[in-house]
Amino acid sequence: MKKYLTIDIGGTDIKYGVINENRKLLYKSITPTNTHLGAKSVINKIKVIFIELSKEHKLEGLAISTTGVIDEETNSLLSPPSIPDWNKINFRRDLEELNVNISVENDVNSMALCEQSLVENSNNLKSLLAITVGTGIGGSFFINGKMHKGHRFSAGECGKMILNDKGQTFEEIAATSALVKSAKEVYPEIENGLDVFKLYDNNDEKIISIVNTFYKNLARGIANMIYLLNPDHIIIGGGVTNRGDKFLKELDYHLDKTLLPFFRKSYKLSIAKNKNDAGMIGAFINYENTFLK
């Protein structure tokens, strides 16, 4: 059974694992990204991970998921995240000494590849939309079973949509970070979304208002995507979805209030199943599509 290294580079942590050709993670771990040390440090960390795991596993290739817009033809970053010197990175060139095939995909696209593969009859869907809601908001979509990347590989950047006359973007008003920021103005001790929803579930009136505004903004952005794409299926990932069915019901309520009647319930709404592993699995699916088919 052939084995591969798959890596999901995030702003805070790098998740990595050994995966086999059946898409099963045989081993996984996590390490700080340490973005303040710059892109070269991240590249060196990938090399060390590959070399160390190669002592126990014969690694046939390297699959990478990362933030930013990826040129799939050159494996370089066209629109890099806020990591010093990241705009100079070309993964294929900078990791050449590992002497294996390397594939690179955007992190939301990787999540989407993973989750799309789990949807029943996914290749027969006319349109599928995947969204992640976290520190920011990102999107990816499939048309007739094929991911649509656009003219310069950046299709799906829905977090950058401008949603009000103040010039605020979708992610500025509807990401989990925006929810936490608003909640901290009332309760400075709040640290994360879990704290917010704990108060919400305990019927704190101040927090109920803040959470309802969050859902209203999230529903507005998703409604725009529904009007544009008319998806059969919408998959949502990110920490906020840990609320499970509660999250789906709460979001669905606000979507029904936002959408015109014709578009209500015109799609299936579900939560990403693989949670933190989706980026790694999706990165490997991109590797499969690039080198193994």
Q: Is residue 16 part of a domain?
A: yes
**pLDDT per residue rounded down to tens, the chain (293 residues):** 899 999 999 877 899 999 999 999 999 999 998 888 888 999 999 999 999 999 999 999 999 999 877 777 766 666 655 666 777 788 999 999 999 999 999 999 999 999 998 887 777 788 999 999 988 899 999 999 899 988 887 888 899 999 999 999 999 999 999 999 999 999 999 999 999 999 999 999 999 999 999 999 999 999 999 999 999 999 999 889 999 999 999 999 999 999 999 999 999 999 999 988 999 999 999 999 999 98
Q: What is the bridge-based pairing of β-strands 69-71 and 13-20? A: unpaired
Tell me: do 128 and 243 sit in the same domain.
Answer: yes
How many domains would you assign to the chain? 2
Give the CATH number of the domain where residue 36 resides. 3.30.420.40
Residues 100 and 242 in one domain: no
Measured in whole angstroms, the distance separating CA 210 from the mean position of its chain's CA atoms is: 24
Centroid of chain to Cα 95: 24
Model pTM above 0.95? no
Inside any domain, residue 114: no
Whether residues 102 and 125 fall in one domain: no
CA nearest to 109, candidates 158, 71, 147: 147
Q: Which domain holds residue 187?
A: 119-272
* Helix and strand counts by DSSP (H, E) for the chain: 9, 12
Distance of alpha carbon 230 from alpha carbon 160, whole angstroms: 20
Residue 196: Cβ within 10 Å count: 25
Q: Are residues 138 and 103 in the same domain?
A: no
140 occurs within a structural domain? yes
Measure the CA–CA gap between 34 and 48, rounded to whole angstroms: 15
